[in-house]
Amino acid sequence: MIRSLTCATILVGVALIPPAYAANCEADARAAMLDFAHPVPMRQDVTTEMAGQTIKSAALSTPERRGMSLDANGNPVSLWDGGRFYTTTDAGTTWSLLSEQSAEDLAARDANFQKQADKARDIACDYNIDLDGKTVHRFSLAYEMIPSGTPVESTYWVDAQNGFPWQVVHAFGGANPSTITQRNSPEPDLQIPVPDR
């Protein structure tokens, strides 16, 4: 469950940076970690490699920090809505509230994201490179997750014109190494269910 919550946090925090760059590698790379309010809803096709296993899943997210994770068959598994985190055992027919964070909790989480970005190291940038026929900027950073201390190396491929994050890879170190690869696509008509409250 801890790994699931960690993955959900990473997915919520998928980066999108503005298309205007200061041509400052460190500043641009740190911005890629911190700009969570992507302007269009999107689908993330996710491959998780952990303990010799490869798990396929997907996630949907909106600019309002609402999202839903799906299993390999496209069935809903979990849903987050601001500080509320829900799970389902019947493919989204009903939802159970698993945890809830206060506004203070969310502010503390964002402050931790800021600290992670501020302390990131081994920063590398490649501007105007090709990714599947699209011109992108690639930003790579190493950092420790707060508060767990888990080491992470993250790489972001963002569209050179509009900043859309076409691909994101998070490689987690520590006692249980894993890699999460997200391939993203815009979903402008996406709707996330609203659980009964």
The Cα 19–Cα 188 span in angstroms is: 19
Is residue 12 in some structural domain? yes
Is residue 181 in some structural domain? yes
| CB neighbourhood size of 82 (10 A) | 12
Percent over 70 (pLDDT), the chain: 86
Q: What is the CATH number of the domain that holds 64?
A: 2.50.20
**Which residue range(s) make up the domain with 169?**
2-186
98-129 burial string, b = 16+ CB within 10 Å, else e?
Answer: eeeeeeeeeeebeeebeebbeebeebebeeee
Is residue 193 in some structural domain? no
Task: Give the pLDDT confidence of 163-186 residue by residue, as tens digits.
Answer: 889 999 999 998 899 999 999 999
Is residue 59 in some structural domain? yes
- Annotate 100-163 with DSSP letters as a single string: E--HHHHHHHHHHHHHHHHH-EEEEEEEEEEETTEEEEEEEEEEE-TTT--EEEEEEEEETTT-
Label residue 37 by pLDDT band (50, 70, 90): low
Lowest mean pLDDT among 9-18, 27-36, 101-110: 9-18
Label residue 197 by pLDDT band (50, 70, 90): low
The Cα 47–Cα 127 span in angstroms is: 25
Label residue 23 by pLDDT band (50, 70, 90): low
CB 32 within 8 A of CB 15: yes
Our count of domains for the chain comes to 1
> 35, 75, 72, 51: which is closest to 168 by C-alpha?
35
Is residue 177 in some structural domain? yes
Is residue 197 in some structural domain? no
Predicted local distance difference test score (pLDDT) of residue 79 = 96
Predicted local distance difference test score (pLDDT) of residue 70 = 93
With a CB cutoff of 8 Å and minimum separation 6, the contacts of 196 are 94, 95
